[in-house]
Amino acid sequence: MTAAYDAIVIGTGQAGPSLAARLAKAGMKVAIVERKLFGGTCVNTGCIPTKTMVASAYAAHMVRRAAEFGVDAGGWSVDMQRVKARKDAISAKSRTGLEAWLKNMDNCTVYEGHARFESPHDVSVGPQRLTAPRIFINVGGRAVVPQMPGLDQVAYLTNSSMMSVDFLPRHLIVVGGSYVGLEFGQMFRRFGSQVTILEMGPRLVQREDEDVSAAIQQILAEEEIAVRLNAKCIGFSRHGEEIMAHAECADGAPEIGGSHVLLAVGRRPNTDDLGLEAAGVTVEGHGYIAVDDQLRTSAPGIWALGDCNGKGAFTHTAYNDFEIVAANLLDNDPRRVSDRIPAYALYIDPPLGRAGMTEAEVRQTGRAALVGKRPMTKVGRAVEKGESQGFMKIVVDAQSKKILGAAILGTGGDEAIHSILDVMYAKAPYTTIQRAVHIHPTVSELIPTMLGELQPLAGPGG
């Protein structure tokens, strides 16, 4: 027997549940399907647990530095079982809260199992068959496991299996020097592990400007985190209990011995086992579902939201996808993905807050631009907190005076970036912030000062 609905939502990540709630409230009969943990990546293996652990790592870091602040912390240690228990409790509260919300929602039926398209309007969940004129795909992604020689001989970890770690790895080898790898790398170093980060490229977080990458590397170096760049030929072998990572790079030792390996080399969408061919949904390179500016797929009546559409890789972009679809379907409001300004944070400590274009991207456009930069050593609040690593930087269009992009790598950078982001959304000139009176002492109070010291930005070659 086929159960008929007005809408089916596949996945309970960061877009699906809110969309199910809006549709159900609008009077539609909704089915939502989850094959694993309610809340998906962010709640169970991504943002929430990692930021919870980053907080534990920060506590350890500050205790270690206590004497600098005139505080005698005495004997202390990190109890990894309690670190994990704290993380599990915070994560579980989100997961169970979401599950209960969905299961008690009027007009909404929850199915637990793997959803698969049987036709453009039919989905199977195990033996059950569901049909609806509207289907919303919110299946997220998972860690890429690259083909590296010898990887099958070693037990490796991903961001998901890291969630079960309740012990201190003696030496954690992190493969991948980007957002996920750096967050785990710094956190485990602060817990007390030796950490080596292997990065195939010539610098860390290559999506960022070179000065940002260099400052991040400096922050990690100060905590004695080993970073091996240009590790183009990574392979593994076992020497008894020891895992040997072969880097064979131009410089540095050809082999690094460690106790555990974390793979953090990117994510892939969960679209390979969804039966998309039966639905006539077009998939692009790397498995991302092709969507238009309002998140419609190639098949009428099917939308794709969140990480699986390749338009964003963040919780806030997935949630914004929900807002776009709901606005178009229910509010007669033609919101679009292209209205969105790229923004995100990297949660090493101090964090990196980012908005809009990088300086390199602005240079590539060849437009006349101005740049302002300020080291965090010249930000009173950072100095007072004893956290003066990093810098802030902003790039503006010389003609229109609109802000093109900014990076704040420094204490509070993940929050302070929003004063810049909001002015960008307002499409106001940078002088709006420059003339604003910000609160003293904050990181944000130096943004107007930085904007008063703009210099011409050299072109692509300069």
Alpha helices in 338-379 (DSSP H): 359-365
Q: Are 158 and 181 in contact (CB under 8 A)?
A: no
Out of 122, 199, 307, 445, the residue judged to bind ligand FAD by CB under 6 A: 307
Contact between 353 and ligand FAD (CB under 6 A)?
A: no
Catalytic residue among 121, 239, 260, 440: 440
Contact between 323 and ligand FAD (CB under 6 A)?
A: no
Contact between 207 and ligand FAD (CB under 6 A)?
A: no
Is 246 among the catalytic positions?
A: no
Contact between 99 and ligand FAD (CB under 6 A)?
A: no
Contact between 340 and ligand FAD (CB under 6 A)?
A: no
In the complex, the smallest distance separating the C-beta of residue 215 from ligand FAD, rounded to whole angstroms, is 20
Contact between 314 and ligand FAD (CB under 6 A)?
A: yes
Structure tokens belonging to residue 55:
């907080």
DSSP string, 180-246: HHHHHHHHHHHHT-EEEEE-SSSSSSTTS-HHHHHHHHHHHHHTT-EEE----S-EEEEETTEEEEE
How far, in Å, CA of 313 to CA of 320, rounded?
A: 12
> Looking only at residues 25 through 44 of this chain, which bind ligand FAD when binding is defined by CB under 6 A?
33-37, 40-42
How far, in Å, CA of 364 to CA of 358, rounded?
A: 10
In the complex, the smallest distance separating the C-beta of residue 13 from ligand FAD, rounded to whole angstroms, is 2
Q: Quick one: which of 357, 356, 373, 365 has its CA closest to 460?
A: 365
How far, in Å, CA of 305 to CA of 289, rounded?
A: 9
Q: Are 200 and 232 in contact (CB under 8 A)?
A: yes
Nearest residue to ligand FAD on Cβ basis: 140
Out of 8, 9, 15, 423, the residue judged to bind ligand FAD by CB under 6 A: 15
How far, in Å, CA of 182 to CA of 71, rounded?
A: 29
> Looking only at residues 252 through 281 of this chain, which bind ligand FAD when binding is defined by CB under 6 A?
270, 274
| Stretch of 47-55, 100-108, 170-178, 426-434 lying at the interface with ligand FAD (CB under 6 A) | 47-55
* Pairing between β-strand 7-10 and β-strand 30-34 as defined by DSSP bridges: parallel
| Stretch of 139-147, 204-212, 213-221, 448-456 lying at the interface with ligand FAD (CB under 6 A) | 139-147
Out of 31, 32, 139, 376, the residue judged to bind ligand FAD by CB under 6 A: 139
| Backbone φ and ψ of 395, nearest 5° | -125, 130
In the complex, the smallest distance separating the C-beta of residue 248 from ligand FAD, rounded to whole angstroms, is 28
Structure tokens belonging to residue 358:
């990088």
Instruction: Give the residue numbers annotated as catalytic, written as ranges.
Output: 440
| Footprint on this chain of ligand FAD (rule: CB under 6 A) | 10-15, 33-37, 40-42, 46-47, 50-51, 114-115, 138-141, 159, 180, 270, 274, 306-307, 313-316, 318, 347
